[in-house]
């Protein structure tokens, strides 16, 4: 009876038993159809135009016109809400309730795992377990995608990080990726505001390996007006005057010795001012002095500076361009996806130790939006941490297996590794992210550490086991997985 006048407009020849008197003008057909559709959407979940019109004998085309009008009002929403692959319509508030109920139901389905189980999951997720190592040059791109935006000490990339994830890692694989233009290495923006500070040793300088197309999304601003040495100023001026240059050209243009140009480039790298076409350039700068001296004795100048000459061109890094709000939002979403790719599960405590991550509140809004779109899951995945957590669907599914899988496998994690989660996810003191520092995990729990060359056992065990653990930590056997005796 509420829609009798609208029904008369749609079907003028019908007569209802006990017909009510006409108290107002019969509305136009389009307006009547719109109100009929509005009332039907109030009682329906997601429905197609054809399904909505079938009980009334109305064509899907007529229904779409009315639905489009309601969409313009903000009353109706369209999309594939049921996963049927068809265009569906739903009243906006009802759809929001459906999404909320679905989200709450999915969140309640997962029982959080302890931190040790999460750590075992991460070792497999990032390929540090014996069975999870990637193989071959093609796998290196996938590994670098997972490590995007995480700064690692320059000397650790090829000694502790990449060999831990890629079986039989070869340096030329990384050189090829950089030389092709797909990846670029550079120092992240410095947190220090004192531009007169001395440059840190290049071996300890944090370095990013970034896909060139996404490099601008990360904060990589060079130091402004740093206090440079005389040789570094000359090399910088040569690059500004002549543009990207090979090492031998920089030697000629700056009128300096090769060793002076080498030290100048190292200084410019630590201030975030330069990079090279190939990773060989950075490799040459972090090479131990004793190794370089041995090469000098055997092969002369050509041997000693081989890496620097094989680096391709050296060039100035472009300053990051200030972006508008839309670009900033896109950057935050990109970084949120990178963090999900890196850890599978993200939460505030974990993200806070990421040096280049945006504030959690910005990531949180993006993650909630991704959850609302059904791209990721929200809930409680790791116990012992306050606040909301978010996970990739495949990560949440895989994480379940680690709740009961309490094996005692051993794994060595470098201090510079993103999986150095001591003092964050794992209990105990934080192991500094310094080259040479290492953590030994047993079943995802720290049992021994090596900090500054000093070994420390965190649990009581017999002498034979201690000797075995000492060997693993000293040798730095990354991804060494063994069964405890």
Query: What is the per-residue pLDDT across 424-467, written as a single tens digit (0 to 9) for each?
Result: 999 889 999 999 999 999 999 999 999 999 999 999 999 999 99
**So what's the pLDDT on residue 407?**
74
Model confidence band, residue 485 (pLDDT cutoffs 50, 70, 90): very low
Tens digit of each residue's pLDDT (9 = 90 or more) over 316-338: 998 776 566 777 899 999 999 99
Instruction: State how far the Cα of 312 lies from the Cα of 139, in Å rounded to an integer.
Output: 24
Q: Rounded CA gap, 457 and 460, in Å?
A: 7
Rounded distance, CA 22 to CA 322, Å?
65
What is the secondary structure of 30-72 as a DSSP string?
HHHHHHHHHHHHHT-SSB-HHHHHGGGT--HHHHHHHHHHHHH
Please determine, for residue 52, whether its predicted confidence score (pLDDT) is greater than 90: no
- Indicate if the pLDDT at residue 360 is higher than 90: yes
Pull the structure tokens for residue 126.
Answer: 């990032």
pLDDT tens readout for residues 60-80: 888 888 899 999 999 998 888
Q: What residues pair up with 391 in beta bridges, in sequence order?
A: 345, 377
Whether residue 297 contacts residue 265, with contact meaning beta carbons closer than 8 Å, is answered with: no
106 pLDDT band, cuts 50/70/90, is: confident
pLDDT higher than 50, residue 102: yes
Question: Considering all CA atoms of the chain, what is the largest pairwise distance in Å, rounded to the nearest integer?
Answer: 110
Give residue 113's pLDDT band: very low, low, confident or very high (50, 70, 90).
very high
pLDDT of residue 297 exceeding 70, the answer is no
Measure CA 349 to chain center.
15
Task: Give pLDDT tens digits for 390-406.
Answer: 999 999 999 988 987 67
Q: How confident is the model at residue 193 (pLDDT cuts 50, 70, 90)?
A: very low
Residues 153, 207 contacting (CB under 8 angstroms): yes
Residue spans of the domains in the chain: they are 3-98, 130-316, 410-482
For the domain covering 3-98, report its CATH number: 1.10.10.10
Structure confidence by residue, pLDDT tens digits, 244-256: 999 999 999 999 9
Locate 24 and state its tokens.
Answer: 């107002």
Residue 202: closest CA among 285, 100, 303, 78? 285
Place of tokens 């990531």: 363
The pLDDT value recorded for residue 398 is: 92
Residue 212 confidence (pLDDT) above 70: yes
pLDDT of residue 372 exceeding 90: no
Q: What are the pLDDT digits (tens) for 254-278? A: 999 999 999 999 999 999 999 999 9
What does the alpha-carbon distance between residue 418 and residue 441 come to, in Å, rounded to a whole number? 14
pLDDT of residue 383 exceeding 90: yes
Supply the pTM of this predicted model: 0.81
Instruction: Measure the CA–CA gap between 285 and 300, rounded to whole angstroms.
Output: 17
Name the token pair of 209: 């390996």
Count of residues making up the chain: 485
CB proximity list for 57: less than 8 A, separation 6 or greater:
none
Whole-number pLDDT of residue 88? 92
């Amino acid at each position: 009876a509420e829609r009798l006048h609208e029904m008369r407009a749609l079907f003028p020849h019908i007569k209802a038993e006990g017909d009510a008197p006409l108290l107002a003008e019969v509305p136009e057909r389009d307006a009547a159809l719109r109100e009929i559709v509005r009332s039907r959407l109030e009682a329906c979940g997601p429905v197609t135009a054809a399904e909505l019109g079938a009980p009334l004998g109305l064509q899907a085309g007529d229904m779409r016109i009315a639905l489009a009008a309601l969409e313009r009002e903000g009353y109706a929403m369209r999309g594939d809400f049921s996963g049927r692959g068809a265009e569906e319509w739903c009243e906006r508030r009802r759809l929001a309730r459906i999404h909320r109920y679905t989200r709450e139901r999915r969140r309640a389905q997962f029982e959080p795992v302890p931190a040790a189980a999460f750590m075992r999951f991460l070792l497999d997720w990032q390929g540090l377990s014996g069975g999870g190592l990637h193989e071959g040059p093609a796998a290196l791109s996938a590994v670098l995608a997972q490590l995007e935006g995480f700064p690692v000490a320059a000397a650790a990339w090829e000694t502790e990080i990449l060999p831990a994830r890629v079986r039989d890692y070869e340096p030329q694989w990384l050189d090829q990726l950089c030389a092709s233009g797909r990846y670029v290495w550079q120092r992240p923006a410095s947190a220090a505001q004192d531009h007169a500070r001395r440059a840190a040793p290049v071996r300890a300088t944090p370095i990013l390996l970034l896909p060139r197309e996404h490099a601008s999304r990360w904060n990589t601003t060079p130091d402004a007006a740093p206090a440079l040495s005389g040789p570094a100023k000359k090399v910088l001026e040569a690059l500004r005057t002549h543009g990207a240059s090979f090492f031998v050209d920089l030697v000629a243009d700056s009128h300096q010795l090769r060793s002076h140009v080498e030290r100048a480039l190292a200084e410019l790298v630590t201030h975030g001012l330069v990079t090279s076409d190939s990773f060989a350039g950075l490799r040459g700068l972090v090479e131990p002095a004793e190794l370089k001296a041995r090469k000098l004795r055997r092969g002369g100048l050509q041997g000693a500076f081989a890496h620097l000459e094989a680096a391709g061109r050296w060039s100035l890094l472009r300053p990051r361009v200030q972006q508008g709000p839309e670009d900033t939002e896109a950057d935050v979403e990109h970084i949120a996806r990178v963090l999900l790719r890196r850890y599978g599960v993200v939460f505030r405590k974990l993200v806070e130790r990421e040096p280049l991550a945006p504030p959690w509140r910005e990531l949180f809004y993006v993650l909630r939006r991704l959850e609302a779109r059904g791209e990721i899951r929200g809930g409680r995945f790791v116990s012992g941490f306050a606040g909301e957590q978010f996970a990739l669907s495949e990560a949440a599914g895989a994480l379940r297996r680690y709740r009961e899988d309490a094996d005692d496998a051993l794994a060595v994690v470098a201090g510079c590794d993103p999986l150095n989660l001591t003092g964050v996810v794992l209990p105990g003191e934080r192991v500094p992210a310094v080259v040479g520092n290492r953590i030994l995990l047993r079943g995802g729990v720290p049992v021994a550490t090596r900090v500054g060359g000093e070994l420390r056992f965190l649990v009581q065990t017999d002498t034979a086991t201690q000797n075995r653990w000492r060997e693993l930590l000293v040798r730095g056997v990354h991804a060494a997985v063994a069964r405890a005796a």
